[in-house]
Amino acid sequence: MSIRTVTTQPFSDQKPGTSGLRKKVPTFQKQHYLENFVQSIFDSISPPSGATLVVGGDGRFFNREAIQTILKMAAANGFGQVLVGRGGILSTPAASCVIRKYKTYGGIILSASHNPGGPDGDFGIKYNGSNGGPATETVTEAIFAKSKVITTYRILEAADVSLDQLGETTLGNMKVKVIDSVSDYAELMESLFDFAAIRALLTGGFKIKFDAMHAVNGPYAKEILEGRLGAAAGSVMNAVPLEDFGGGHPDPNLTYAHDLVDIVYGKDAPDFGAASDGDGDRNMILGKRFFVTPSDSLAVIAANATLVRGYTKGIAGVARSMPTSAAADRVAKALNIPCYETPTGWKFFGNLMDAGKVTLCGEESFGTGSDHVREKDGLWAVLFWLNILAVRKQSVESIVREHWAKYGRNFYSRYDYEGLPTEEANGVMTHLRDSFASLTDKQFGKYTVATCDDFSYTDPVDASVSKNQGIRILFSDGSRIIFRLSGTGTEGATLRVYLEAYEADVARHHLDAQDALKDLIQIGLNISELIVRTGRQQPTVIT
């Protein structure tokens, strides 16, 4: 075995987004493309000789090949050991768990999260630091800077390593330890939740259905829900991870998890339904014929946290991304704890958690988590709900409706316009920014615009500033319309429109969200000129 230094040239498109670098598989398969980015990571993080790295991914197409390349490059760059999930599999929260448990220098996670997979699908790579969380903006900017000037990368000439058998092998001077992908994570979950109470619920006639969407959480859910908690065989559907996610779109929402939705809204529906995404960090929660918005889910979890073993002493605070509804803010106020509004991207929660300022956090994009790891965690959210249900012995719907009666209901919806030409999407945002002055104090029916801004965030821990995080149209009654370009797609631009209206009157809590928000929806379309500027008559997805 020998270390080879390979001459290369920079690629201009390796700027990491909110969750690392995401491109189509054929892009990553270009000669030197993956290697350039990996070397840029290693050059930016400057690992000490002999450091330990965690590597794993969601099992999508190109996962195994990428891992072999990363292992050989890690060996050539002085790492002493790499912990890799069996079969190359690690859910994103499980990877964070492993980084933290074994105090490794960091980890490389291979995933494009909820994006489709397969030979023509999406692929992604990101670096997580020693706290288990996504790299800070300082690190990702350094990686991008390196990628623009890279001239060589280092790789060990060696045969591929077997990833399917637990145990330790050597690659040059580096140890490669294949670990059980599920055990460390399952052990952590058992320390946080009352498995005996949940087991009593699931073996006492309470029926559940969990859709793993042929993605990474299949093995985790089978082991924990069916294996350790006694849910009936078949409670976990689509449990085998596939490179193309079975041809589906592994995004746990009402549109893409339609098989689960049909079951939960159908005849003989189970009492509880849930789904997770490609890499296991997102979740959707359903009761019998009842959908829980991610914003409400975070608020309900916060309000009921002391019922759950790992959180009985209370929570230090709550954080939510700016586009997420203010439902959690109302709970935090009642509990007399802080609630932080951050830009979208889990890395912003990491600083707050590391500083002990928050315990729970969440995003409207179906992500919820706590300080047990530094990633959002889909199966953790499911277990939290099951623990609440086991203690309160009520249905999902009754718990949510009681929550609304106490705190009020934040009607909420998100419209996604995917695959827009970038120029047209940017045109909508520019038009909105140019309209701030004319919109302020303007009245639209019962809604009066109080202020408009492009959200900026100053981190209370390190004082770093993040600007241009989304356009907010804020109304005098607390209602909001938010426009934001997403960084999770790989083609064109995804423009998201978020709509929120607060309703204190219990008599109106039964309304369908789309009916309650119909005036705001029209206002948003009118002031953005979205249909005229993009030609899109309807959003791709409504959640």
130 assigned to active site: no
Q: Which pLDDT score, from 0 to 100, does residue 214 have?
A: 97
Q: Which pLDDT score, from 0 to 100, does residue 490 have?
A: 56
Q: Which pLDDT score, from 0 to 100, does residue 489 have?
A: 53
Q: Which pLDDT score, from 0 to 100, does residue 488 have?
A: 56
Domains defined for the chain, CATH in brackets: 2-181 (3.40.120.10), 185-407 (3.40.120.10), 409-542 (3.30.310.50)
Secondary structure, 3-state, 412-434: EEEEEEEEECHHHHHHHHHHHHH
Give residues with Cβ within 8 angstroms of 283, minimum separation 6: 252, 274, 275, 276, 277, 294, 297, 366, 367, 368, 378, 379, 381, 382
Q: Distance between CA atoms of 207 and 274, rounded to whole angstroms? A: 12
Token digits of residue 227:
């294996």
Q: Which pLDDT score, from 0 to 100, does residue 487 have?
A: 61
Question: Cα–Cα distances in Å, from 211 out to 218, 239, 277, 324, 492?
Answer: 8, 7, 9, 24, 29
In the set 44, 113, 365, 370, the catalytic residue is 113
Q: Which pLDDT score, from 0 to 100, does residue 17 have?
A: 84
Q: Which pLDDT score, from 0 to 100, does residue 315 have?
A: 98
Q: Which pLDDT score, from 0 to 100, does residue 72 have?
A: 98
Positions of the chain with pLDDT lower than 50, given as ranges: none
Q: Distance between CA atoms of 493 and 485, rounded to whole angstroms? A: 7
Q: Distance between CA atoms of 58 and 139, rounded to whole angstroms? A: 23
Give residues with Cβ within 8 angstroms of 534, minimum separation 6: 417, 420, 421, 424, 425, 428, 495
Question: Cα–Cα distances in Å, from 506 out to 405, 407, 479?
Answer: 6, 10, 17
User: What pTM was computed for the model?
Assistant: 0.93
